[in-house]
């Protein structure tokens, strides 16, 4: 980005004309002071392309930041190079921390310090954690909800005091529910309306009724949120998962999603972070079709990366139907447009939310629910999602789980591993019941969260033949290979068909070549319920395999098996 300040100035003028130029100049002064005093080491260009991301809740994974620091060697041994900390900011925790009460404080319970501990003591502990992560080459990013706050945020409390309160316009208030009638209900079956009554009027929200939406038409909101990002960059974080960004700008008569001015807001954030610390990651949490998500990359001046939400269900459909076609189609340019060279897709099998079925056809939804919704208690949003852990979805079959990981790790993008999936953590019924009672919401996503019992896990890890150890070793082995090459993070992909020794097409094989200027890999997965064979007349080095055998160039792959082969002499 050539001139971040000029870009910020242009966007501000476009959004707010010149009526609030004094506020903009005040923001620039703050950013300049932070930049001049910032001692943070510069981030490598496009570091996120070859990262392995591990997603976790600090408290559920390790209790607090001291416990998480003690687990960094474990994560490093797995092959992790970036931690995505699920919500850590101060919150009443009605929505797992996405209801933020204070943007510049971390929840006190994540420090394990006495209640009387000062903010400085807390921040020193967080800084010590960051230092230890960075010593191991592990970047740290965390969630920040850009669209809404908690009702307990001081801004909202002030806004409820009346129309003349200076914070009233930080949120969207109306005398009735007649605005934004075209907006869909995101929490269908849980929230009946996007408008919540309060003291004779209504406030607007896209998520739960205790999460009022911010009003970016007010320039003070953009000022405040940019200051928040600057604050955390000065503390040493390496990036942000920008939560719920498609919804941050509203216009009556529209569906209030993916509006042009929402993109301008994100571009403003990007310019500010580039000015302060270039290559700070902004990861788009935009649960939209790829042709919409790519708009959040813009010309390489908006988000650095975005989730490829539709790829995930197609991986599961291909595995359920023993057919590679769903993956071929979703990664074709007709579905997944090309993105700027500097940008990247982030991929995942599971996450802290449901296995979402929003962006599949009714037929595909039937396939997914029939194959993977093994318990109706896992149902989410009236059939539009399945709340289940990877191990539950694949019936605790280590081979099937390993094959799913292999597909994700070798397709284009940066992979995300959800905490506990590396050892086959299962659904947590106890945690679901506890959280449902505590919050008053029977949100099935609680099944896929829950604490790690490290005493039990470590005991299982000591058993070489345990399910947990087998999953961990397989995944760690794959990550070791992936971390030695840039071909999977940066290379092109070409799907190919393979033949058996008789020259017949080998059906049910998901096979492709990943290639950079420096090297090429052939990756083959057998989706069939029985062994398959193929021949490939190249000089190759086996880099990883599960359930495969090579006899003089004839490869046999068992059901659920796969193989990674480096093609030699390609220069």
The yes-or-no answer on residue 238 being catalytic is no
Nearest to 357 by CA among 314, 320, 391: 314
Catalytic site residue from 285, 354, 428, 443 = 285
184 in Cβ contact with 157 (< 8 Å)? no
Contacts of 366 (CB under 8 A, 6+ apart): none
Element (H, E) at 158: helix 154-159
The CA–CA distances, whole Å, from 294 to 247, 301, 339, 493 equal 16, 12, 6, 18
330 in Cβ contact with 359 (< 8 Å)? no
Distance CA 214, CA 229 (A): 16
Sheet strands (E) in 398-491: 414-418
Neighbours of 433 (CB within 10 A): 13
Q: What is the per-residue burial (b if ≥16 Cβ within 10 Å, else e) of 40-55?
A: beebeebbbbbbbbbb
CA atoms within 13 A on the CB side of 20: 18
> In three state form, how does the secondary structure of 86-99 look?
CCCEECCCCCCCCC
Pairing of strands 520-526, 554-567: antiparallel
The yes-or-no answer on residue 243 being catalytic is yes
Distance CA 22, CA 296 (A): 29
Element (H, E) at 105: strand 102-106
Let me know how many helices (H) and strands (E) the chain has, helices first: 19, 22
Distance CA 318, CA 334 (A): 19
Distance CA 388, CA 109 (A): 27
Strand partners, 500: none
Nearest to 247 by CA among 301, 184, 297: 184
**Which residue, chain included where needed, has tokens 């955390």?**
232
DSSP state of 551: E
Catalytic site residue from 64, 243, 274, 422 = 243
DSSP state of 171: B
Pairing of strands 89-90, 102-106: antiparallel
Neighbours of 353 (CB within 10 A): 16
> Angle formed by the axes of helices 219-235 and 119-135, to 10°?
60
185 in Cβ contact with 358 (< 8 Å)? no
393 in Cβ contact with 373 (< 8 Å)? no
Distance CA 211, CA 196 (A): 10
Tokens of 227: 């200051």
CA atoms within 13 A on the CB side of 382: 8
Q: Show which residues are catalytic.
A: 243, 285
């Amino acid at each position: 980005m050539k001139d971040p300040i000029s870009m910020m100035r242009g966007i501000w003028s476009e959004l707010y004309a010149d009526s609030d130029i004094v506020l903009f100049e005040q923001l620039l002064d703050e950013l300049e002071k932070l930049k001049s005093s910032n001692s943070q080491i510069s981030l490598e260009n496009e570091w996120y392309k070859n990262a392995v991301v591990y997603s976790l809740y600090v408290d559920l994974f390790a209790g607090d930041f001291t416990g998480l620091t003690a687990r960094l060697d474990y994560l490093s041994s797995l092959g992790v190079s970036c931690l995505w900390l699920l919500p850590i900011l101060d919150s009443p925790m009605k929505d797992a921390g996405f209801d933020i009460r204070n943007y510049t404080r971390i929840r006190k319970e994540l420090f394990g310090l006495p209640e009387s501990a000062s903010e400085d003591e807390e921040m020193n502990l967080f800084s010590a954690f960051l230092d230890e992560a960075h010593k191991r080459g592990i970047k740290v990013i965390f969630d920040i909800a850009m669209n809404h706050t908690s009702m307990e945020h001081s801004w909202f409390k002030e806004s409820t005091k009346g129309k003349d309160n200076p914070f009233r316009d930080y949120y969207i208030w109306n005398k009735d529910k007649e605005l934004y009638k075209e907006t869909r209900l995101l929490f269908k079956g849980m929230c009946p309306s996007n408008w919540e009554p309060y003291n004779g009027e209504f406030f607007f929200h896209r998520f739960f009724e205790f999460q009022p939406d911010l009003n970016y038409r007010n320039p003070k909101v953009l000022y405040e949120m940019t200051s928040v990002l600057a604050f955390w960059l000065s503390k040493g974080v390496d990036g942000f998962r920008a939560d719920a960004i498609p919804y941050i700008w509203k216009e009556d008569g529209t569906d209030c999603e993916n509006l042009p001015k929402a993109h301008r807001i994100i571009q403003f954030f990007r310019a500010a972070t580039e000015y302060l610390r270039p290559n700070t990651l902004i990861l788009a949490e935009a649960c939209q079709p790829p042709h919409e998500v790519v708009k959040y990359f813009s010309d390489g001046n908006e988000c650095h990366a975005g989730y490829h939400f539709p790829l995930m269900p197609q991986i599961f459909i291909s595995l359920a139907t023993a057919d590679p076609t769903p993956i071929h189609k979703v990664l074709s340019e007709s579905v997944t447009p090309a993105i700027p060279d500097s940008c990247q897709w982030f991929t995942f099998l599971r996450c802290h939310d449901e296995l979402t079925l929003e962006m599949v056809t009714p037929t595909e939804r039937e396939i997914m629910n029939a194959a993977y919704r093994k318990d109706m208690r896992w149902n989410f949003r009236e059939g539009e999602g399945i709340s289940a852990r990877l191990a539950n979805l694949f019936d605790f079959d280590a081979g099937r789980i390993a094959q799913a990981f292999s597909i994700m790790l070798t397709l284009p993008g940066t992979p995300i591993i959800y905490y506990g999936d590396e050892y086959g953590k299962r659904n947590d019924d106890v945690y679901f019941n506890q959280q449902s009672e505590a919050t008053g919401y029977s949100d099935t996503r609680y099944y896929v969260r829950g604490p790690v019992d490290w005493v039990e896990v470590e005991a299982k890890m000591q058993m070489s033949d345990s399910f947990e150890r087998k999953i961990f070793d397989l995944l760690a082995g794959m990550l070791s290979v992936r971390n030695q090459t840039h071909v999977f993070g940066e290379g092109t992909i070409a799907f190919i068909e393979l033949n058996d020794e008789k020259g017949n097409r080998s059906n049910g094989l998901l096979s492709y070549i990943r290639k950079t200027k420096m090297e090429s890999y052939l990756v083959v997965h057998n989706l069939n319920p029985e062994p398959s064979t193929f021949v490939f007349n190249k000089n190759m080095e086996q880099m990883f395999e599960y359930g495969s055998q090579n006899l003089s160039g004839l490869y046999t792959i068992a059901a659920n098996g796969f193989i990674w082969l480096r093609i030699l002499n390609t220069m």
